[in-house]
Amino acid sequence: MAELSKANTRRPGHLRLEGEVVGLSFRMQARLEAQFTELAAQCGLSAVQAKVLLQLPAGGATTMQALAGQLQYDASNLTGVVDRLESMGAVRRQPHPEDRRVKRVELTDDGRRMREAFWEKLTNRSGPLGRLNSRELISLRALLATAMRDPAG
């Protein structure tokens, strides 16, 4: 069965279909990003600031370097984003207990409230996927999970 599936992926028709799906995926991602950006703005945040708030652990701290890696963002550019969040009272930076050259970032109580307010807006509003019924969403979720599965195991 795996051999048959592998053989199908080499056919020109399959590759063309895969290309169409990739194109649609990029268009959907653009729509989702636009919605994310709009909702962040409604909360007084940039999209990157909202992503930082969502990425920070609820009850702990993470290093700037780890945060940059998780967001796939350049650490030097992240400094300005965290500066702005700190000036808003959403995060605080502290030296790492074992290496004072390393800065750790953590949410403040205000930052947790901001994150919760943004998450509420994000998850309680129908977006581009709102045209799909529950059965279709379940199927799409399963297909995406299969496509994202690590082929190595």
What is the rounded distance in angstroms from the CA atom of residue 78 to the CA atom of residue 118?
20
Residue of 78, 73, 58 whose CA lies nearest to 119 = 58
Mean pLDDT within 18-30: 93
Segment 108-142, tens digit of pLDDT: 999 999 999 999 999 888 888 888 999 999 999 99
- The region of weakest confidence among 74-78, 104-108, 125-129 is 125-129
pTM of the model: 0.79
Query: Sign of the CA dihedral 71, 72, 76, 77?
Result: negative
What pLDDT is recorded for position 98?
Answer: 85
Instruction: Report percent pLDDT > 90 for the chain.
Output: 63
Q: Rounded CA gap, 105 and 65, in Å?
A: 10
Between 100 and 87, the more confident residue is 87
What's the CA gap between 11 and 30, in Å, rounded?
29
Q: Which residue has tokens 């708030």? A: 53
Are 128 and 28 in contact by the 8 Å Cβ rule? The answer is: yes
Amino acid at 50: A
Q: How confident is the model at residue 12 (pLDDT cuts 50, 70, 90)?
A: confident
Give 8 or 80, the one with higher predicted confidence.
Answer: 80
- Is residue 44 very low, low, confident or very high in pLDDT (cuts 50, 70, 90)? very high
Query: Residue 63: what are its φ and ψ, rounded to 5°?
Result: -75, 155
In angstroms, rounded to a whole number, what is the distance separating the alpha carbons of residues 32 and 52? 17
Fold of 2-126: Arc Repressor Mutant, subunit A (1.10.10)
Task: Report yes or no: 137 and 129 within 8 Å, Cβ to Cβ.
Answer: yes
pLDDT band, very low/low/confident/very high, at 1 (cuts 50, 70, 90): very low
* Element at 36 (helix H, strand E): helix 12-42
